[in-house]
Amino acid sequence: MNLHDIIRRPLITEKATDLQAQDKYVFEVATTANKVQVKTAVEKAFNVHVVDVNVITVPGKMKRRGRRQVATSPWKKAVVSLRAGDKIAYFEGV
């Protein structure tokens, strides 16, 4: 897989913004990606040193579309911890 296939998008939420003070960043990743693939993709894409990766599978939810109930797709997110002093410039100023 290409590194842009592994990292889909950064997640910018209130909780993710609070984690940036601890040098942790949150990304939506491919459902087939594992911790090692996420680590190498973040290191190559942003030129930082990754210390730890936590991967969470978020289950889909039931949503109403008119009279029908449909399930949203499950997805995977990764919380990436960086070495002290490393920053990802993409998240700065958000």
The set of residues, in sequence order, having a beta carbon less than 8 Å from that of 11 and lying 6+ positions away, is: 26, 27, 28, 77
CB 56, CB 35: distance < 8 Å: no
Q: How far is it, in rounded angstroms, from Cα 68 to Cα 74? A: 19
35-57 tens-digit pLDDT:
999 999 999 999 999 999 999 99
CB 29, CB 76: distance < 8 Å: yes
The set of residues, in sequence order, having a beta carbon less than 8 Å from that of 35 and lying 6+ positions away, is: 53, 55, 78
What string of pLDDT tens digits covers the 94 residues of the chain?
A: 888 899 999 999 999 999 999 999 999 999 999 999 999 999 999 999 999 999 999 999 999 999 999 999 999 999 999 999 999 887 766 5
Domains and their CATH numbers in the chain: 3-84 (3.30.70.330)
Name the average pLDDT for the chain: 93
What pTM did the predictor assign? Answer: 0.88
